[in-house]
Amino acid sequence: MDLQLHGQHVLVTGGSRGIGLACAREFLREGCRVTLVGRDAARMEQACAGLGAGEAVRGLCADLTDPAAALLAVDAAEAGHGPIDVLVNSAGAAKRTPFAELEPQAWHDAMQSKFFTYVHVMDPVVRRMGARGRGAIVNVVGMGGKVASPTHLPGGSANAALMLASAGLAAAWGPRGVRVNAVNPTLTLTDRLAEGLAADARLRNSTPDEVRRQAEQKMPLGRLASPEEVAALVVFLASPRASYVSGAVVSVDGANSPMVV
Ligand SMILES: NC(=O)c1ccc[n+]([C@@H]2O[C@H](COP(=O)([O-])OP(=O)(O)OC[C@H]3O[C@@H](n4cnc5c(N)ncnc54)[C@H](OP(=O)(O)O)[C@@H]3O)[C@@H](O)[C@H]2O)c1
């Protein structure tokens, strides 16, 4: 299927690793120009070099918990590759913490590192897209916003808030030609997974390897998701082929949480 994305400028936050990096690879394959944002300069350099796409990919460093830094990154992205046609938010880093270890600061931190990192970029980008009358935003959120996990309550709360924000922004900006969707992965094989497995292992007095084995056994498809499997859905939702899909929250969880809403 031709996704009709050729020549579009895609901004991927969290593009230096994991799901964001897999998304960047897929968009480049579709002939897009891609700008990546992450905090660590060495990781960003490595990611850009690894994509092997020359001038088609640019990396920027910014901490998106800071709204001013996020705005500067959006300005720099547009100065480099032109107006942003597609925004993918994947720069989330909410820590998994066993519930008994939770203190108020952990809830604040989760909102900063997952909710506001997305909002700080969406806010300027959705306005610019609206002014141009076109654009698509895909937020990589997480099933933890629908199904409460005892090791992911603050991050899950940020995810629940992001689903609401995505649906609400889709309704608000639809009349100006902007689509907004959310994707909910289940456990996906990225660097973040190791941290989550370690938290689960502490809670259950087990080892990360054992927790992973049990998680895989529990999955209806018998395995965890790959970043590429999440990216395939993100790229479709961002594309003109999904032109009437907006305000949707789509699970990529291999039926691990079978539910209707
Ligand atoms: N992996 C899973 O099992 C899973 C499941 C459900 C949902 N998700 C969600 O999917 C998204 C991506 O997850 P992932 O597993 O791909 O994570 P990851 O491998 O840890 O990658 C996160 C990316 O975000 C960047 N980043 C983090 N905090 C940032 C900040 N404050 N400002 C700018 N960049 C920042 C990181 O680069 P730097 O560290 O250099 O900044 C990195 O590029 C997250 O929102 C996560 O909650 C993941």
Q: Which atom of ligand 1 is nearest to the CA of 191?
A: 19
Output the CA 185–ligand 1 centroid distance in Å.
12
Answer whether 255's CB lies under 8 Å from 147's CB: no
The proportion of the chain whose per-residue pLDDT surpasses 70, expressed as a percent, equals: 100
Count of all residues that appear for the chain in the document: 261
Output the CA 175–ligand 1 centroid distance in Å.
31
Q: What is the pTM of this model?
A: 0.97
* The pLDDT of residue 177: 98
Of all protein residues, whose CA lies closest to atom 37 belonging to ligand 1?
38
For the chain, what is the domain count? 1
* The pLDDT of residue 88: 99
First to last CA, the chain: 29
pLDDT in tens, 35-94: 999 999 999 999 999 999 999 999 999 999 999 999 999 999 999 999 999 999 999 988
In a domain, 141, yes or no: yes
Ligand 1 pocket test, candidate residues 43, 45, 139, 140, most atoms within 8 A of CB: 140
- 198-215 burial, b if ≥16 CB within 10 A, otherwise e? ebbbbbeeeebeebbeeb
* The pLDDT of residue 121: 98
Residues having CB closer than 6 A to ligand 1 are 14, 16-20, 37-40, 43, 62-65, 90-94, 113-114, 117, 140, 142, 185, 187-188, 190-193
DSSP-assigned states of every residue in the chain: ---S-TT-EEEEETTTSHHHHHHHHHHHHTT-EEEEEES-HHHHHHHHHHHT-GGGEEEEE--TTSHHHHHHHHHHHHHHH-S-SEEEE----PPP--GGG--HHHHHHHIIIIIIHHHHHHHHHHHHHHHHT-EEEEEE--GGGTS--TT-HHHHHHHHHHHHHHHHHHHHHGGGTEEEEEEEE-SBSSHHHHHHHHHHHHHHT--HHHHHHHHHHHSTTSSPBPHHHHHHHHHHHHSGGGTT--S-EEEESTTSS----
In a domain, 261, yes or no: no
Ligand 1 pocket test, candidate residues 11, 19, 48, 143, most atoms within 8 A of CB: 19
pLDDT in tens, 160-216: 999 999 999 999 999 999 999 999 999 999 988 888 888 889 888 999 999 999 999
Q: Which atom of ligand 1 is nearest to the CA of 224?
A: 3
Q: The CATH number of the domain where 96 resides is what?
A: 3.40.50.720
In a domain, 100, yes or no: yes
Ligand 1 pocket test, candidate residues 11, 12, 88, 90, most atoms within 8 A of CB: 90
In a domain, 40, yes or no: yes
**Domain assignment of residue 91, given as a range:** 9-251
In a domain, 1, yes or no: no
* The pLDDT of residue 191: 87
Output the CA 202–ligand 1 centroid distance in Å.
22
* The pLDDT of residue 198: 87
129 pLDDT more than 90: yes
Q: Categorize the per-residue pLDDT at 154 as very low, low, confident or very high, splitting at 50, 70 and 90.
A: very high
Q: Which atom of ligand 1 is nearest to the CA of 188?
A: 3
In a domain, 2, yes or no: no
**Residue 168, Cβ neighbours under 10 Å: how many?**
12
* The pLDDT of residue 179: 99
Output the CA 54–ligand 1 centroid distance in Å.
24
261 pLDDT more than 90: no
Answer whether 35's CB lies under 8 Å from 87's CB: no
In a domain, 125, yes or no: yes
* The pLDDT of residue 192: 84
* The pLDDT of residue 97: 86
In a domain, 76, yes or no: yes
Asked which of 112-121, 123-132, 196-205 is least confident by mean pLDDT, the reply is 196-205
Answer whether 217's CB lies under 8 Å from 148's CB: no
